[in-house]
Amino acid sequence: MAKRRSVLGEAHVDRAESNKTKFDEDYQRLITESAWGSVWTRDGLTDRERSMIVIAFMAALGHHDELAMHIRATANTGASLDDIREVLLMAAIYAGVPAANAAIAVAKEALREMGEDLGEPERDA
């Protein structure tokens, strides 16, 4: 639970926990123990690297809610705007342009909600 909170933030985990019911309590325990307790706590990759990998998978698989959540989590994992941009460029090549188009739209919305300055595009003179 400590790793889940450190990556996703207290507010997100508190919301998930407060919305837990008997129906999904086993599922919540499963993801906390397996994803956060077993995988995210392993040696070998940093939280930043894991974050980038998850963003790539969520983009490729079209899991946009999870993608937005993990974009927001970069505030805690250390993955930068440049990291996110590079991961989504890779997704365009390896997962396809339509997947990357949708992922970039999700990422831009999440990043703007976080107060990130995405900059103005360069204009041809």
Domain locations along the chain: 1-42, 45-115
Q: What pTM was estimated for this model as a whole? A: 0.88
Annotate 45-66 with b (16+ C-beta within 10 A) or e (fewer): eebeebbbebbbbbbbeebbeb
- Token pair 């993990």 is found at 70
What are the tens digits of pLDDT across the range 60-88? 999 999 999 999 999 999 999 999 999 99
- Give the residue-averaged pLDDT of 1-11: 94
CATH topology of domain 45-115: AhpD-like (1.20.1290)
